[in-house]
Amino acid sequence: MSNGSFQEQIQDLWRTRPVRLPGRGHVAGVCAGIGYRYGVDPVLIRVAFVVSTIFGGAGVLLYLACWLALTKSGDPASPAESLVGRGHSSDSGTKTIVLLVALAIALTTVGPFGVGLGGSGLISMALMLGGLWLLYQRQPIPPPLPAGAVAPGVGTGYPGTSFSPGQFGANPFGPGTYGPSAYGPGAYGPGAYGPGAYGPYTKLPDSYTPSTPPTSDDKTADAPTEALNPETAAAQSDPVSFEKSPAPGPQVDAPSAPFAPLEPRPPAWDPLGVAPFAWDLPEPARTTTPAVQPERTHSRLTTMVIGLAILAAAAATALSVATGSDWLNPGRIGAVALAVIGVGLLIGGFLRKGYGLLVVAGPLIGFVILASIVGSLDLDSENMGDRTWNPTTAAAIEPAYSGGFGSFTLDLRNVTLTEDKTVDVSGQFGEVVVLLPPGMNVENHCTAQFGDVQCLPDGLDGGVDGTDGPVLNLNADVQFGSVEVRRG
């Protein structure tokens, strides 16, 4: 299968999106549908939703979105499509509106406008969407839906595969159009050409060999000579019998070569001999019923370890909220859950079980790495948006300035240094800008883990009046974004 462009793959992912299976699920059948579509255990999908709900609330948001966007098995449209008049769904309009309100409330708890734990909602959502993309790459072609999950007129049951009812009737060619009686009884049966006659496909021998007459032996050749002697002839003559001898039977000569049968036998697929014109075709392959494979029993180790990891992460989160400690940030809480998963993998390595833990360990490792890079993000009003710090004296300069999400500017153009100063300016997401007067002595150190850096040259920069006087040691850092230091 050749991969198309990224846009074509996105369109195909949406066209072959899962179908909700409420009969196999617990709430709306979202996890069961996703697991069946991509060949994954639904328990792992539920665990992923629960983990992303704990770390930022993205799981609830994505579950509600899937509930509205995915079609229920047997329905021609999803609840969202039914609400805008693009089909019919078995879910009522009131239920759909309630789901939309719940989705709007969940949206306020995720992202830069929400109050998620340390910005982990964005990371969890990105990991969940990335996992969906990887599942699609693993199995781009959807399997057929289970029995009873396809409604009449919806094709295979997946969106984009429907056809109009009655397009192909139950018997489009009419009854008996090509049945056995279409040619009449005995049209090509045995005896159609009279008893004993050659059939139309009788195979005749390639050549005939004439039979040779019997040759006389030596005893027969000497018989006339011996008959000349009357005494010998009388002695050797048989006694006279007046009984009538039976008529000799016809002489039958054995054929010199075996002949082929006059009438070919019909094959097994045509026992009545109604289609002799197709007897030279090969025998059809026998349909073999595949053996029913026993259902694979899932190991309890995977479920037990995942449950323990969730409990450990929930306990660490509750401890962080209760104590107000900044040490238990999302990265460390994820590391606690990852440690439990690691112990489960170690035990499963000896027992040869628990391979499903690898599916959870991969995204969890990515979450821990990203959360450790980003650090704790306090999404309050003071650390979000555009902020400008404008001290007017050297004494008013604070040792550190920090921001979370937005554009942050430190304006020192009105400051005259009276002594050496060290200032740290940092941001996590966004832009950090430091404005300096033309004659200030500055030694800047700028870093950006993911972004652009535009600062003064390395080392001491004295500006327009040389390097005499107090020096400002400036440390500017940003996680995701850009850093700029310039003279204004």
CA distance 382 to 390: 16
Residue 117 pLDDT: 46
The tokens describing 57, both together, are 């609330």
Domain presence at residue 251: no
Specify the DSSP class assigned to residue 296.
P
Q: Which residue in 373, 433, 379 sits closest to 404, CA to CA?
A: 379
Determine, yes or no, domain membership for 126.
Answer: yes
Is position 14 within any domain? yes
Q: Is the pLDDT of residue 407 over 50?
A: yes
Is 289 part of any domain? no
pLDDT tens digits, 22-61 = 888 778 888 888 988 888 888 888 888 888 887 777 888 8
Q: What is the pLDDT of residues 294-332, one digit of tens each?
A: 555 556 788 888 889 988 888 888 888 888 777 788 888
Question: How many CB atoms neighbour CB 196 within 10 A?
Answer: 7
On whether both 392 and 472 belong to a single domain, the answer is: yes
Task: Show the domain range for 432.
Answer: 387-487
Q: Is residue 160 one of the residues assigned to a domain?
A: no
Structural domain ending residue among the three candidates 331, 351, 374? 374
Residue 170 lies in a domain: no
Whether 392 and 481 share a structural domain:
yes
Both 391 and 417 in one domain: the answer is: yes
Q: How many domains does the chain have?
A: 3
Do 439 and 322 share a domain, yes or no? no
Q: Check residue 402 and give its pLDDT.
A: 87
Burial (CB count within 10 angstroms: exposed 0-12, middle 13-18, buried 19+), residue 259:
exposed
- The predicted pLDDT at position 202 comes to 56
Mean pLDDT of 346-373: 81
The tens digit of pLDDT for each residue in 56-91 reads 778 888 888 888 888 888 888 888 888 777 777 887
- Read off φ and ψ for residue 197, nearest 5 degrees: -80, 155
pLDDT band at 223 (very low <50, low <70, confident <90, very high): very low
Distances (CA, A) of 457 to 63, 382, 417, 470: 50, 32, 20, 18
**Is 19 in the same domain as 120?**
yes
Residue 318 in domain? yes
What is the structure's pLDDT at 3?
Answer: 64
Q: Is the pLDDT of residue 390 over 60?
A: yes
Residue 401 and residue 466 in one domain? yes
Q: Average pLDDT of 231-244?
A: 48
Please give the mean pLDDT across all residues of the chain. 73
Q: Do both 392 and 464 map to the same domain?
A: yes
As a whole number of angstroms, the distance between CA 217 and CA 374 comes to 119
Question: Token pair for residue 358?
Answer: 């690898």
Residue 260 has pLDDT above 60, yes or no: no
Residue 474 and residue 436 share a domain: yes
Contact 481, 448 (CB under 8 A): yes
Burial of 372 (0-12, 13-18, 19+ CB in 10 A): middle
Q: Are residues 364 and 406 in the same domain?
A: no
Point out the domain boundary residue: 119, 138, 157: 138
70, 103, 138 — which closes off a domain?
Answer: 138
Lowest mean pLDDT among 66-75, 90-99, 134-143, 280-289: 280-289
340 with 427, same domain? no
- Tell whether 364 and 392 lie within a shared domain: no
344 and 369 inside one domain: yes
* Residues 74/151, Cβ–Cβ less than 8 Å: yes
201 in a structural domain: no
pLDDT at 183: 47
